[in-house]
Structure 1
């Protein structure tokens, strides 16, 4: 998943870096213990970066985990894990999963700049291969990670939604089509592979070194607000996501789980806490301009991303709470961390600007970009007619 660079967390990891085929010592951690950990063997895909790297380090340091098998296309920083270097779409992954009790599949491409077709091919094919390989290898549980975006951002959504609420999202927002297909694969897998348990974890707006259309929203000189909308913001810190994933690995909870901070922030609270003023536009102008900007390739975000800044998609997270899990961060704290992370970045309509462009755009950059879309389209059409 699009997440923190693992080097940021390198201090948490052991300094030893064995070769890909070297199996780390099974000697017990903790000094005076005389027996090795008796917990599960856990395989993590996408283990070299982002959430995968953080989870790999966390599990490797846990006394409740027997061993961590790390799978990625390059080696990560965790020296205590057993590394296998390969693409998750390679059927040979089944051999690497033998002996694992649980697989946490985090090898997803949600990069805004990725080619959409290539991104979908990687995400869907990778998930299919991991599920099939896990069943063939005798793994009894696979944990998948999507997003609360799959519930959809709609004006009639309750606050908060139940985790059992219908998934009403469409494929119009970045990566959401892939996540919906992963959800479908998760529901079909136990029928296709009896005995395979599939748990799906859905984080809210993920913060902690991440780069998404929703984190870029806070890089704008003005917070775009569509007139008549009622957004509600719920965040999830990457450390809380890793904590929730560890809960699933240890079989303390299962099923379809939402994870995020308790409660939510209204748009007015976000503006007050951030100190960023709003720029309010009519719905037709905002959506139409966003669609044109994306269609001509000026911005990476399709118009469907705007819905998640217009309507609520907050989820209760009751299943994790009932299991005894609690987030370590509040929405206010995570928003403050996000604002610190994006400080100095300049984004207009989802497109990052260099310093020169940002200066030229100024405080009204969002308006210029959106209202200027029609003029850009007109110029492009005139240029095509002259050819």
Structure 2
């Protein structure tokens, strides 16, 4: 077995887990630096390097987890790395005779839509808008569908988790819970489903061992309502009309003041609950329910503070105070006016 991104994060956790399994006699870790997991054979290189093909010869499965979902990475750089990395790994696996690849994207690829069935089946169509990190994930999904046709004999399994929490996971979704208030679109009914990182790891283990194949969703069973989540994390809501929230988010993103596109607001407004059908049918069960996963999220984000999707320090937090989210949104108008004035002056 080979794991990309094995020196840190989810890749490290899976490499350590696989190295402890009796069913697996060899684990190869690929990353740009050597990791510290015992029992792993390390191959140090950039995952976009075609030399990956030589480093995975003899492996039965490659699990590709070297994907950057950080809100802080420059978007073009992140997208180029994510897509090129997945493409290189798929091509390298075919060239070196590896029969099976496991990829990990997100249930976000289904899109968060008011008319989504609850829950979404594993084979539901992918209706997400191709913007931000989601665009990278949709491109990886396209590569995954294309690979078996381009390389007969290559099998690709794609694991799509619900909102991942625990283990210091940092995404634009977890940062939603680092704000002073939880933004809620007026008239929406968010359905919060979580996937604790421990459950994601066990699902990836099952996929690695071939117990599930194809498109595989994973998450805690069911979902929590908005008021239940607010009680668990101890944060009040900030309710805004959709037009105001989307308009502000679009302007902020266009001005480079927030890393997430406005379309990402859908994921905190509309359902994208998944069923975990294939895993459950195979006998897998999550360890965490949505309540314990949400409590883990609350513990992880405690002491962290975010405004406009970006981390802020203690001094800035004290300045923003409890009404920080409101101030940030209301301040958008002033920011836009200043930007327009500068543009007008520059054109005269």
TM-score scaled by structure 1? 0.87
CA drift of 1:380 comes to: 2.1
Q: Match for residue 241 of structure 1?
A: 200
Q: Is the 8 A contact 2:156 2:214 kept in 1?
A: yes
CA separation in 1, counterparts of 2:247 and 2:293?
Answer: 31
Paired position in structure 2 for 1:33: none
Asked whether the 8 Å contact 1:151–1:168 carries over to 2, the reply is yes
Residue in 2 aligned with 1:321? 280
Query: Which of the residues 111, 118, 138 maps onto 1:180?
Result: 138
Task: Using the TM superposition, give the Cα deviation of residue 385 of structure 1 relative to its aligned residue in structure 2, in angstroms.
Answer: 3.4
Aligned-residue CA RMSD (Å):
1.0
Gaps in structure 1 of 5+ consecutive residues: 1-41
Task: State the TM-score, normalized to the length of structure 2.
Answer: 0.97
Match of 1:147 among 100, 106, 111: 106
CA–CA distance in structure 2, aligned partners of residues 116 and 275 of structure 1? 32
Q: Does 1:291 align with 2:250?
A: yes
Asked whether the equivalents of residues 15 and 29 of structure 2 are also in contact (C-alpha less than 8 Å), the reply is yes
Once residues 18 and 248 of structure 2 are traced to their aligned partners in structure 1, the CA distance between those partners, rounded to angstroms, is 45
- Residue 299 of structure 2 corresponds to 340
Q: Distance in 1 between matches of 2:79 and 2:335?
A: 29
Residues paired across the two proteins, number:
345
| 1:239 CA displacement | 1.2
Shift of 1:361: 1.1
Instruction: Give 2:149's match in structure 1, choosing from 176, 183, 191.
Output: 191
Aligned counterpart, 1:83:
42
Distance 1:274 1:239 in 2: 20
Structure 2: runs of 5+ lacking an equivalent: none
Q: Which runs of 4+ in 1 moved over 4 A?
A: none
Q: CA deviation at 1:175?
A: 0.7
Offset, 1:218: 0.7
Measured in 2, the distance between the counterparts of 1:81 and 1:134 equals: 19
Q: Kindly provide the CA deviation profile for residues 280-315 of structure 1, in whole angstroms up to 9, marking residues without a partner as x.
A: 000011011111112112222221111100100001
1:119-158 alignment to 2 at 5 Å?
119-158=78-117
Aligned to 2:160: 202
Q: Does 1:49 align with 2:49?
A: no
Instruction: Report the alpha carbon displacement of residue 75 of structure 1 after superposing the two structures with TM.
Output: 0.9
* Greater displacement, 289-298 / 322-331: 289-298
Counterpart for residue 98 of structure 1: 57
